[in-house]
Amino acid sequence: MVKFKSQLALIIFIISACAFSAKAQNNKTGIFGVATITLPGDSLSRWGGYIELQSRSNKFFNQFFYYETKGGISYDIANNYTALLGTGRYVTDENDLGLTPNTEFRMWEQMTVNSFLDRVKFEHRYRAEQRWVNGIYRNRFRYRLNMVIPLNNKKVVPGTFFIGIFDEVFFNNKAPHFERNRFSAGLGYQFDKSFSLQLGWLNQYNYNLSNAGAKNNLAININYRIHRDHAKSKEHIPTSAD
């Protein structure tokens, strides 16, 4: 127990130090907030779904410029294999920076593959997106590798602290093809069988022919899972749908 508490204190210190360092070095460290409600497939039904809200800011809890509202329907093809169809509306409004607002409608097809290697949980997520940005059609393809490590239990059960790390790459079908990389590391806690909270650091690197740059964010992920009565739940990886 003493060893675990020491490890936990070290993790909290590292995350806090990274967030403080980023804020001290870059006055545009922002907020990357995500709230997700999920109905997963289970022993009673392979069908599920989710809804999600997002908001992002250019500065630390200031100049919020980005808003997402989205959802989807999922189907468990097999154990640890889940397909999903999703859609959403995305608004980017950076008037404070003198930029023109963008409105996007998006649809996507997604496959998620989970694997559980003792304490280490892996998620591979593949997504193809159809995007209409201010009425202009675009394609995009994404892959995310997500890893979750429970600290004080072998599985993520109520009362579990866990580390969450992921990296996601974004590509489009036009040169130079590579569009974005998103990396995040954080510490989470599973309060009960439904509710979990994760705080951490998220770095997003954007690239195009005329400009490139990275942005640090404090990531706040709130997740709530709905459980059907009398259903046997599967082991899950606590993470945001996006």
Nearest to 68 by CA among 95, 33, 108, 94: 33
Q: Can you tell me the distance from the alpha carbon of 215 to that of 28, in angstroms, rounded to the nearest whole number?
A: 8
pLDDT (tens digit per residue) in 55-91:
999 888 888 999 999 999 999 999 999 999 999 999 9
Across 174-202, average pLDDT: 95
Q: What is the pLDDT of residue 19?
A: 47
148: β partners? 121, 164
Average pLDDT, the chain: 88
Give the CA count within 13 Å in the CB-facing half-sphere of 218.
Answer: 20
Delineate the domains of the chain, giving CATH numbers in brackets: 2-225 (2.40.160)
Q: Can you tell me the distance from the alpha carbon of 127 to that of 125, in angstroms, rounded to the nearest whole number?
A: 7
- 101 vs 134, which has greater pLDDT? 134
Q: Can you tell me the distance from the alpha carbon of 34 to that of 26, in angstroms, rounded to the nearest whole number?
A: 22
CB 57 within 8 Å of CB 63: yes
Q: What is the pLDDT of residue 234?
A: 82
Give the pTM: 0.85
208, with CB counted inside 10 A (0-12, 13-18, 19+), is exposed
Q: How confident is the model at residue 202 (pLDDT cuts 50, 70, 90)?
A: very high
Q: What percent of the chain clears pLDDT 90, i.e. is strictly above it?
A: 69
Backbone angles phi, psi at 25, to 5 degrees: -90, -20
Q: What percent of the chain clears pLDDT 70, i.e. is strictly above it?
A: 86
Across 203-220, average pLDDT: 87
Across 38-44, average pLDDT: 94
Q: How confident is the model at residue 99 (pLDDT cuts 50, 70, 90)?
A: low
pLDDT (tens digit per residue) in 110-124:
999 999 988 899 999
Question: Is a pLDDT exceeding 70 seen at residue 20?
Answer: no
pLDDT (tens digit per residue) in 130-176:
999 999 999 999 999 999 999 999 999 999 999 999 999 999 998 88
